[in-house]
Amino acid sequence: MKSFTATLSPILALSLAGLSTAYSHAQLNGMTVFGYQAWYPTWDPNHQPQDQVHSNDFKWFNPSQGTPGPPSPPNSQVLTDTLPYVDDYPAECWENTNFILANGSHAQFFNSYCTAVIEKHFQYMVQYGIDGLFVQRFFDAATPSNDYFNATLQALQTIRQMAEKYNKYFAVEYDLSGKTDAWGPDQYLTVLQNDYNNVVKPLFSSQSYIYNGTRPVVEIWGVAINNGTGPNGSKFKDIINRFQEAPENPFIVAGVPHNWLDYKTKDPNGYWPAFQQADCIQPWPVGAFSTISDFTWSVQHELLPGKAQTDSWGIKFGGAFTPGGSNRNANTNATYQPPLGNRFNGTFYEEQLKAFSNGTVKSWFNFGAMFDEYTEGELAYSEFGIFETDKECPGTQILPMVQFKDLPKNSDPGFLGSDDDKSPFYYMQLSGNYTTVFHQTWGQQSVAH
Ligand SMILES: *[C@@H]1O[C@H](CO)[C@@H](O)[C@H](O)[C@H]1NC(C)=O
Ligand SMILES: *[C@@H]1O[C@H](CO)[C@@H](O)[C@H](O)[C@H]1NC(C)=O
Ligand SMILES: *[C@@H]1O[C@H](CO)[C@@H](O)[C@H](O)[C@H]1NC(C)=O
Ligand SMILES: *[C@@H]1O[C@H](CO)[C@@H](O)[C@H](O)[C@H]1NC(C)=O
Ligand SMILES: *[C@@H]1O[C@H](CO)[C@@H](O)[C@H](O)[C@H]1NC(C)=O
Ligand SMILES: *[C@@H]1O[C@H](CO)[C@@H](O)[C@H](O)[C@H]1NC(C)=O
Ligand SMILES: *[C@@H]1O[C@H](CO)[C@@H](O)[C@H](O)[C@H]1NC(C)=O
Ligand SMILES: *[C@@H]1O[C@H](CO)[C@@H](O)[C@H](O)[C@H]1NC(C)=O
Ligand SMILES: *[C@@H]1O[C@H](CO)[C@@H](O)[C@H](O)[C@H]1NC(C)=O
């Protein structure tokens, strides 16, 4: 098969890499990283032009025109169940709403593309002892004609700059989950090849880029995520293989469904060979379990057998966990109570962190879903015109949210808060504390906070 960059053979590339100092980059093994989306553009004309990537903001609110909240438009159009805690961002990165908090202030959303917002997130990582991020790169945003191409590129470069400034780590995670099986090589090969060569490969020289051994880490998220309707296994296998054959020989993490082992026997769409092509398998946690007892079941029936399967193939297993979330308001259905509607005061998250950090499931690295995802408008088309079905993780962010006691008193549409008796940074604290435990499980020094 043809690789993305055909100038050197993989064998030669490996021997060249071997000449450089082995492991001069931060190593994936033992790390705990969080998925990062830089998800919220702003529509406010008062923002700086460089911060304005689109004339609307349909990630927080829909329709996007006007000021969210009472008296209009209808409150049911809020796409988040929680309100972000924004006090640490400069006011020019805020987006005003008409939701009135208990103290009389207007609740604010924020603009993810503000440099100061991204910088604050890295300062949180330093403060709480979090290793770094996997930055999501949607296929459409990697397409130069897309409205978001320039903005996501700028965000990626800001993330690189901040990772270097704060001694934190990052890698790129392509998200190919939104595509249909009609998506053929003529539609993706050139885009992926150009994006790899022009955008992703230059990041590999960053001291903050995450490697496995001498191989830069790249995740391909979405393999088998939409079984039967998404791209089939042959296409994913080919994409993974082409990345691996590039001279830099990227280490490919495949983001797969929690029940990926079922494809061993039920696989007319050819995903099982694609899983085996990867260097690491990472089963997706959101929707996989929503209570502690679900999770305990999953450890026995999905995670430990999955780890044994990857061991038998000689590839790695990536752990992934979620604090839990909910998607009531985006569903525009106040009676809809999804199973993820409760974080169980952090106990659900902590139980997962424990099992993935104390050696119960001895994963090669761990991934938290997600760092900054307060919403994802599940019923709407996503920002790139993709209808996303299986990947929803609204409200799964570890970033702080407004506490219950501070929420608007008006119950329409109603919001979930952060527990009053805990710091709004409770999920950040847990994340950092178990990052340290996981480093110790792999015999690594704990990171300084
Ligand atoms: C009002 O409450 C919000 C949410 O807790 C907080 O972020 C904000 O700083 C408070 N505003 C004032 C003026 O105290
Ligand atoms: C992205 O920026 C380049 C260079 O400034 C510009 O030529 C191009 O039109 C922009 N693309 C989009 C989709 O706005
Ligand atoms: C991943 O890195 C480890 C060192 O941490 C190395 O022993 C292993 O061979 C690497 N795996 C692959 C598939 O490159
Ligand atoms: C995947 O979808 C096919 C139909 O396209 C079905 O036969 C198969 O059982 C499904 N596999 C799993 C693991 O759900
Ligand atoms: C995947 O789709 C391609 C293109 O339609 C086809 O050639 C290939 O046989 C399919 N693979 C599987 C496993 O269905
Ligand atoms: C709202 O959610 C409830 C509970 O899931 C469901 O029974 C009902 O059909 C939904 N209503 C609409 C209009 O979707
Ligand atoms: C690790 O954590 C899990 C989940 O709480 C627990 O069941 C298990 O006993 C713990 N194992 C060790 C060795 O502490
Ligand atoms: C979680 O905390 C809230 C207050 O923040 C309390 O009302 C609720 O009972 C607690 N739930 C559990 C399961 O501890
Ligand atoms: C995290 O660890 C610090 C230092 O040991 C401790 O003070 C804090 O209570 C821990 N936070 C949580 C949420 O466990």
Q: Which ligand is nearest to the CA of 91?
A: 1
pTM: 0.90
Query: From CA 264, how far away is CA 281, in angstroms rounded?
Result: 14
pLDDT at 449: 44
pLDDT at 447: 54
Q: Is the CB of 433 under 6 A from ligand 9?
A: yes
| pLDDT, tens digit (0-9, with 9 covering 90-100), for 323-333 | 988 777 776 65
Atom of ligand 6 nearest to the CA of 333: 1
Supply the residue whose CA is at minimum distance from atom 9 of ligand 3: 213
- Specify the DSSP element, H or E, that contains 97: strand 94-100
pLDDT at 2: 46
pLDDT at 136: 96
pLDDT at 437: 97
pLDDT at 376: 60
3-7, 81-85, 160-164, 438-442, range with the lowest pLDDT: 3-7
> Hey, which of 179, 181, 227, 232 would you mutate to test ligand 5's pocket, going by the most ligand atoms within 8 Å of its Cβ?
232
pLDDT at 4: 54
Residues with CB under 6 A from ligand 1: 85, 87, 101, 103, 105, 402, 406
For 199, how many CA atoms within 13 A lie in the half-sphere containing its CB?
27
Contact 406, 400 (CB under 8 A): no
| pLDDT, tens digit (0-9, with 9 covering 90-100), for 382-429 | 333 333 333 455 678 999 999 999 999 987 788 888 999 999 999 999
**Reported CATH class of domain 10-441:** alpha beta
What number of other Cβ atoms are within 10 A of residue 354's Cβ? 14
Q: Is the CB of 234 under 6 A from ligand 5?
A: yes
Question: To which residue do tokens 């000021």 refer?
Answer: 67
Atom of ligand 9 nearest to the CA of 449: 4
Whether residue 48 is predicted with pLDDT greater than 60 in this model: the reply is: no
Centre of ligand 9 from the C-alpha of residue 421, in Å: 14
If you average pLDDT over every residue of the chain, what do you get? Answer: 85
pLDDT at 445: 74
| pLDDT, tens digit (0-9, with 9 covering 90-100), for 134-174 | 999 999 999 998 877 888 899 999 999 999 999 999 999 99
Cite the DSSP H helix spans in 56-206. 115-128, 149-166, 185-195
pLDDT at 226: 93
Supply the residue whose CA is at minimum distance from atom 8 of ligand 3: 213
Query: From CA 277, how far away is CA 189, in angstroms rounded?
Result: 18
Atom of ligand 5 nearest to the CA of 233: 13
The tokens describing 220, both together, are 């391909």
| pLDDT, tens digit (0-9, with 9 covering 90-100), for 90-108 | 999 998 888 999 999 999 9
Centre of ligand 5 from the C-alpha of residue 232, in Å: 6
> Hey, which of 348, 350, 354 would you mutate to test ligand 7's pocket, going by the most ligand atoms within 8 Å of its Cβ?
354
Q: Which ligand is nearest to the CA of 362?
A: 7
Contact 266, 228 (CB under 8 A): no
For a pLDDT cut of 90, what percent of the chain falls above it?
65
Whether residue 217 is predicted with pLDDT greater than 60 in this model: the reply is: yes
Query: From CA 150, how far away is CA 156, in angstroms rounded?
Result: 10
Residues with CB under 6 A from ligand 4: 227-228, 262-263, 266, 268-269
Strand partners, 170: 133, 209
Q: Which residue has the higher pLDDT, 119 or 338?
A: 119
